[in-house]
Amino acid sequence: MFERAAGSLCPFQTVIGALASSDGINFQHTRREPVFTGEMAGLPKGSVQDARIVKIEGTYYISYAIQPYQMDCRPNGLGVPAYSTGRYRGWKKCASPMITRSGIAVSRDLIGFTHLSFTTPAGIDDRDNALFPRKINGRFASLRRPMSRSPSIWISYSRDLMGWTDPRIVAEPENDWEGGKIGAGPPPLETTEGWLLLYHGVDGSSVYRVGAMLLDLDDPERVIARTRDFIMEPEEYYERFGLVIPNVIFPTGMVLADGLLRIYYGCADTCIGLATVPAGELIAHILSQA
């Protein structure tokens, strides 16, 4: 498991740490130091977050988001905290406040990670990047969310993980619970019925919920079916109240074992939760919405 962790709120700077478990429930850190930081991406004051990991041809790839400079975070318990960048001069270089870029880090052993490439331009806010776990028609594929176009799920392709095609739309917000913004969750999972994708939607009250869809295996720009209603929403205390943003469930990890789907998700930016569902039941439910 790869977590986002912050040592303080002022300044608010996050890193990625590694944990391991023998049962998928009880986790322990594998090392005292983070496995990936903003400094390793060339931005020593930056915050890295939202690690989504896949293994392709024997190599591990983490898609991550990075905010390039430090900031102050003052939670108010009402929604999005009061963020302040005023005392950090680096932000003056950015095209927009709090801009977030995405990249890929690579490893052979899940401990020693190195920055490979940035997958999005420096001048736009683009996060929720997730690599597909294998090449599609000879190319790597990655989901993304370029805010300058539409806060939706888009896809880009690459031959070498270095240069990426212009993004193409996959899915836009359609339902009230999604608000005006959706983004990919964990890396898509290959099933006989299509690529299983969990995604989050954010309504007008900044409540994060989770939906699911199936994408065509050979043409992931085609949505086979999609849930009209959410499949998860904040219910438990630790999902509704947290240190940073309340009412958030944010999945970025998904494991299928013996027919059971394990969904690992962030809870109110404070802790990590686990939800389970028989994969066949979830896929049947999605297809019933077609």
- At residue 251, the pLDDT reads 98
Q: pTM for this structure?
A: 0.96
| CA distance readout (Å), 222 to 155, 195, 286 | 11, 10, 15
Give the pLDDT confidence of 10-43 residue by residue, as tens digits.
999 999 999 999 999 999 999 999 999 999 999 9
Q: What is the mean pLDDT of the chain?
A: 95
The 8-class DSSP code of residue 63 comes to E
- At residue 199, the pLDDT reads 98
CA 32 to CA 17: how far, in whole Å?
A: 8
Query: Quick one: pLDDT band at residue 112, thresholds 50, 70, 90?
Result: very high
Q: How far apart are the first and last CA of the chain?
A: 33
CA 133 to CA 156: how far, in whole Å?
A: 14
- Helix (H) or strand (E) holding 280, with range, is helix 279-287
Q: Which CATH architecture has domain 2-287?
A: 5 Propeller (2.115)
- At residue 81, the pLDDT reads 87
Taking alpha carbons only, the member of 59, 258, 70 closest to residue 161 is 59
- At residue 179, the pLDDT reads 94
Q: Which residues contact residue 265 at a Cβ distance below 8 angstroms, ignoring those fewer than 6 apart?
A: 185, 210, 232, 249, 250, 251, 252, 253, 272, 273, 274, 275
| DSSP-derived pairing of the beta strands 59-67 and 189-191 | unpaired
Average pLDDT (252-268) is 97
